[in-house]
């Protein structure tokens, strides 16, 4: 993977937002849709903020943008304040002119019997629309991308997974205790992610420095699923100086 090190998260986020905005503009001119793979969590928040600014102040339209989010807790109702549905609408979609029918976020309310077909259809829809143009990723301290926890493989598709202990601990504050964090999630697979044409993995702060080093410079291994990004030909790790501090 390539790495881009920025003085701070604001500068890194503005860079990623500009890359996304210029692709949308290009595709809009050609009257073609832009497919974006999106992440939740704290990491991409400033990217969404900057895209909202570009929409408001520079008139960028998202009418031709189709989004696919990486993941959702399972089970999880979309109207629950902890849902990734709520997160995405509050931090991004409600503030731009995207058509709600172009927003895709894995459904946390399926019955177990429905999950497999649903996940297959999620991947098929991405492919049938031409594939993700850009995938935005954060990285978990467990080494996950999306919710592809240690043990995930580059052949994995979108599916129902178990969350790892580190991930549950990291979410416990938001949920008011580890016992309230869902133990499962639906996540895009590593394969689904690797099929994106361009990938930006964002990481900020000291807490991510170790896992960033393992993902960028360590062995490609299922122990650190983010390390599989080394297989991708157009993947940039967008880092602040702290997240980059353990790179050689």
Q: Is 43 in the site for ligand F6R (CB under 6 A)?
A: yes
Encode 42-59: b = buried (16+ Cβ within 10 Å), e = exposed. Answer: ebbebbbbbbbebbeeee
- Rule CB under 6 A: choose which of 20, 51, 145, 168 binds ligand F6R: 145
- Rule CB under 6 A: choose which of 35, 39, 66, 126 binds ligand F6R: 39
Separation of CA 201 from chain center: 8
Q: Is 37 in the site for ligand F6R (CB under 6 A)?
A: no
Closest separation in Å from C-beta 176 to ligand F6R: 17
Q: Which is nearer to ligand F6R, 55 or 138 (CB)?
A: 138
Binding track over 213-242 against ligand F6R, x by CB under 6 A: ------------------------------
Binding residues for ligand F6R, total number by CB under 6 A: 14
> Taking CB under 6 A as the criterion, which residues in 47-76 touch ligand F6R?
70-71
Q: Is 106 in the site for ligand F6R (CB under 6 A)?
A: no
Q: Which is nearer to ligand F6R, 42 or 162 (CB)?
A: 42
- Rule CB under 6 A: choose which of 146, 154, 189, 225 binds ligand F6R: 146
Residues 6+ apart with CB under 8 A from 35: 65, 66, 67, 68, 126, 129, 130, 131, 132, 133, 134
| Cα–Cα dist 78/18, whole Å | 30
Closest separation in Å from C-beta 58 to ligand F6R: 26
Give the phi and the psi of residue 209 in degrees, each rounded to 5: -60, -40
Residue whose entry in the numeric block shows the structure tokens 């894995």: 106
CB contact at 8 A, 240 and 12: yes
Binding track over 123-142 against ligand F6R, x by CB under 6 A: ---------------xxx--
- H or E stretch covering 37: strand 34-38
Q: Which is nearer to ligand F6R, 60 or 148 (CB)?
A: 148
Q: Which is nearer to ligand F6R, 43 or 102 (CB)?
A: 43
Q: Is 149 in the site for ligand F6R (CB under 6 A)?
A: no
- Counting every residue, how long is the chain? 248
| Residue 116 is among the residues annotated as catalytic for this protein | no
CA distances from 204 to 12, 51, 62, 129, 147 (A): 9, 19, 27, 32, 18
| Cα–Cα dist 77/99, whole Å | 21
Q: Is 156 in the site for ligand F6R (CB under 6 A)?
A: no
Pairing relation of β-strands 103-104 and 198-203? unpaired
Residue nearest to ligand F6R (CB): 138
Which stretches of the chain bind ligand F6R, using CB under 6 A? 39-43, 70-71, 138-140, 144-147
Catalytic residue numbers read 149
């Amino acid at each position: 993977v390539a790495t881009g090190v920025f003085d701070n998260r604001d500068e890194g986020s503005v860079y990623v937002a500009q890359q996304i905005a210029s692709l949308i503009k290009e595709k809009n001119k050609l009257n073609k849709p832009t497919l974006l793979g999106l992440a939740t969590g704290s990491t991409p928040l400033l990217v969404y903020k900057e895209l909202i600014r570009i929409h408001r102040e520079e008139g960028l339209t998202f009418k031709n943008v189709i989004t696919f989010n990486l993941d959702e807790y399972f089970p999880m109702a979309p109207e629950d304040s902890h849902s990734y549905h709520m997160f995405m609408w509050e931090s991004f979609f409600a503030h731009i002119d995207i058509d709600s029918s172009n927003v895709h976020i894995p459904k946390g309310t399926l019955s177990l019997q429905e999950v497999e077909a649903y996940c297959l259809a999620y991947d098929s829809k991405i492919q049938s629309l031409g594939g993700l143009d850009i995938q935005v990723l954060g990285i978990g301290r467990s080494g996950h991308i999306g919710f592809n926890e240690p043990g995930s493989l580059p052949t994995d598709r979108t599916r129902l997974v178990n969350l790892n202990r580190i991930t549950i601990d990291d979410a416990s504050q938001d949920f008011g205790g580890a016992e309230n964090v869902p133990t499962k999630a639906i996540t895009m697979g590593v394969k689904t992610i690797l099929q994106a044409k361009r990938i930006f993995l964002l990481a900020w702060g000291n807490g991510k420095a170790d896992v960033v080093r393992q993902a960028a410079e360590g062995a490609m291994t299922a122990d650190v699923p983010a390390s599989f990004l080394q297989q991708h030909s157009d993947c940039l790790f967008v880092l602040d100086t702290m997240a980059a501090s353990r790179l050689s």
